[in-house]
A and B are shown apart, each in its own frame.
Chain A
Amino acid sequence: MAVKTKGQTFVFANPPHIVAHASIVGPEESKGPYSEYFDLHLDDAKYGEDSWEKGEERMAANAVDLSLDKASVTAADVDLMLGGDLLNQLITADFVARDLDTPFLGIYSACATLVEGLSLGAALMDGGFADCVVAFASSHYQTAERQYRTPLEYGVQYPPYKQFTVTAAGSYVLGWLGGDVWITHATMGKVIDLGVTDPNDLGSAMAPAAAEIILQNFKDLNRSPADYDLILTGDLGLTGKKVLTTLLEEKNIMAGDKLMDCGGEIFGGQEQYGSGGSGVGASAAFFGSVIIPRMKAGEFRRVLFVGTGALLSALTVKQKESIPAIAHAVVVEKIPGG
């Protein structure tokens, strides 16, 4: 077994390739500045189904199917599928897997779920347990709002730093051949809670977990921001990104323009979306559809992709618990000569 671990970081002896990726985004995301990058756009959040939950399920299922098509494989060729979402009991991912002839592990680390899936998938492949893995994740504005907050039409006033759940699904096919990028390392995060209790400010709750994993990755691999062309966080939003910048600067890490946040970018920073997007769909769709093509074009050669998750539930908020957060990271590089 050629797998080595440094601190919290897996170093892959044979980096698995991201062979294909597919994304589907909802109506609001389709209005954003990155709209054209995504594969499919929904103009109806229910996707023609009779409930939002079924709409999300169909969105995630179609993203998986599309990624398999792009990779020219069938569900039966896939050794293992890793998927998750934000809904209780992972209903979206479970119900997607119901219709596929593929072994499935449901995974959850809130909005870090996609990066958790890529990390686990790459580790299982490098460890020799699989040759083809699918990692997918989805989030949905309406299904998440009704689970975590109040009914959509309820006229409550949100603060300017509130984030809006992104309606999107992304699916990644990992294999040994094809694609333009591969996963060279994965850093597994610890749960961090610095006492944020405001469920409208998940970005600030998650920023310490993001800082923690970035520092850990630098420590384990003896790297600095100079070693990365981009440090891409999942869904800290504009406020969380500022908090992260401050936390890193206090540790003398000047990431500057190399920091980008999927949630902060996806709506184009418009005021009506507060601090930006949140939800695992943001990173699941954005990284594959926006960043991988830019890596292929040579704009970024090595990216630290950090998934950030707020581990709250509607119940813990009501019980006045603070919001624990987690972040995981993968190092994705352009395949040399590829």
Chain B
Amino acid sequence: MKNINKTTDEFKKIVQKEQPPVNKTANFFKAFLVGGTICLIGQVFQELYMAFFNYSQQDAGTMATITMIFLGGLLTGLDIYDEIGQFAGAGSLVPVTGFANAMVAPALEYKQEGFIIGIGANLFSIAGPVLAYGMVSAFIVGLLQTLFGG
């Protein structure tokens, strides 16, 4: 006979009472602020590419995305992006910089195991599901368009 014989529901109530609360409202605003700022920086790059390099709007958008991916990777390597992530949550996870972070973080981590079975095998360990289901959804949408899009 155990000394502690609580049900999981009874125990859950104690845990909920003692855990420091997660401030969802604050997290919402932090995510909005940081996510918006990241998008603003991307927009500034797009405008600059158009103004100074005579890119078309579409090409400038592509160049801005490439720049943001570079910055996301750089900040990951400099041990800064995870700090931003702790503050911003989804705000830094959702933009393309977050995708760069999800690729560079495992690359850094698994470098110790070498280029093939380390980096190569683990590069997509976080971003893999996004790519897999991104491609599956693209396939389904493409199929539907072919069949019914006319």
Contacts and interface: CB of A to CB of B under 8 A. Distances in A.
| A-B interaction | yes
Interface of A: 50-53, 146, 150-161, 190, 192, 194-196, 201, 204, 208, 211-212, 215-216, 219, 239, 242-243, 246-247, 251, 275, 322
20 contacts: A51-B112, A151-B108, A152-B82, A153-B104, A153-B109, A155-B81, A155-B105, A156-B82, A156-B85, A157-B85, A157-B90, A160-B20, A161-B20, A192-B2, A194-B6, A196-B15, A201-B15, A212-B3, A215-B3, A322-B8
B130 interface: no
B14 to A, nearest CB: 5
Sort chain B's interface into a size bin: 35 or more
Contacts of B83: 155
Contacts, number: 112
Contact of A242 (B8, B18, B87, B125): B18
Contacts of B12: 195
Nearest to B93: A155
Given A161-B20, A194-B11, A212-B2, A155 B98 contact: yes
B76 interface: yes
Interface string B76-109: 1101011111111110110000100110111011
Contacts of A216: 3
Contacts of A195: 8, 11-12
B147 interface: no
A215 B6 CA distance: 14
B94 to A, nearest CB: 11
A204 B18 contact: yes
A156 to B, nearest CB: 6
